[in-house]
Chains A and B, each alone.
Chain A
Amino acid sequence: DAGVTQSPTHLIKTRGQQVTLRCSPKSGHDTVSWYQQALGQGPQFIFQYYEEEERQRGNFPDRFSGHQFPNYSSELNVNALLLGDSALYLCASSEMGRRSNYGYTFGSGTRLTVV
Chain B
Amino acid sequence: GQQLNQSPQSMFIQEGEDVSMNCTSSSIFNTWLWYKQDPGEGPVLLIALYKAGELTSNGRLTAQFGITRKDSFLNISASIPSDVGIYFCAGHLILLQGAQKLVFGQGTRLTINP
Interface residues of A (CB under 8 A from B): 4, 33, 35, 40-45, 48, 50, 55-56, 58-59, 90, 92, 94, 96-97, 99-101, 103-104, 106-109
Contact = CB atoms under 8 A, between A and B. Distances in A.
B48 A33 contact: no
B43 A106 contact: yes
A44 B104 contact: yes
Contacts, number: 75
Contacts of B98: 50, 55, 96-97
Contact of A4 (B31, B42, B90): B42
Interface of B: 1, 4, 6, 31, 33, 40-45, 48, 50, 88, 90, 92, 95-107
Nearest to A43: B104
Contact of B107 (A35, A42, A103): A42
A107 B101 contact: no
B44 A100 contact: no
Contact of B88 (A40, A42, A58): A42
A45 B41 contact: no
